[in-house]
Amino acid sequence: MDRPNCVSTLVNSLLALYEAAPGGVPPVLVADDGTDEGAEVEEYVSEVNQRLGTEVVQYWRLPGDSGLSACRNFLVDRVQTPYFVLLDDDFVLELGATEVERLVQVMRAHPELDIVAGGLRTDEVAFYDYAGKIGVEGDAIRMREGDDGPVEGFPQCRKVDVTANFFAARTDRIRTVRWDDELKLGEHQDFFLRAKWAGLHVATCRDVVVYHKQVHADPQTKYKRMRMREFQFLRRMLAKHNLKRLIIYSGATYAHIP
């Protein structure tokens, strides 16, 4: 695990919210494709499960550098509930703000919705949700600000095409789309674009927020060097769709194939 402290902080925040809750702690699934041996995380998971008296946190060690997409697909295949919540390792759940049950509540009230996301906050930004529209325009994947209107009965939620990587989803519907294993990074736009083409419906809600505890790695570390391959995989994603550019919300070209 390349960022073991992030994982333990995330799981600890989840335990703080749910350990005393009536339903107890929900299953937590962790996939580790880090380039080290992962012993620190394995020890932490073992201690948590021993204290709780049950295997709440399930941990799998995957081949190093399997990539974000392969790890997510691996975990989705092992989900045993109708819904799951996707979290990055540098997220922290907060009391009174990160009520993920509300995301599921929206889906239960609206069977047509397949993904319902929340927003994020950082130390610098009070709220952002990276939500909007996505489509193909000419030779580009184009992201635009905007939505398709509110979700009936939930005025804080609106219908969109793409969200941040903090969302609840219907397990069976995500399994029909999955992430592209070939995209170890730069998978975000590809996933939501294909989800749109597959007929999945997406919404985002402003009243559910997770803290994004951003960790800025030393540029000399192997992890940071691996993260710097993002544009390599974005170009691979564009080539897969026979496109040349990725245009983000600001109108700027974020990635392109010369």
- Evaluate whether 151 touches 110 at the Cβ level (below 8 Å): yes
Average pLDDT, the chain: 93
Distance CA 111, CA 32 (A): 33
- Least confident range from 51-55, 67-71, 155-159, 192-196: namely 51-55
Q: Please give the DSSP secondary-structure letter assigned to residue 199.
A: T
Distance CA 54, CA 234 (A): 40
pLDDT (0 to 100) of residue 236: 97
pTM: 0.93
Q: Please give the DSSP secondary-structure letter assigned to residue 30.
A: E
The string of pLDDT tens digits covering residues 8-19 is 999 999 999 998
The string of pLDDT tens digits covering residues 167-203 is 999 999 999 999 999 999 999 999 999 999 999 999 9
Pinpoint the alpha helices (H) of 85-201. Answer: 100-109, 171-177, 188-197
Distance CA 232, CA 134 (A): 21
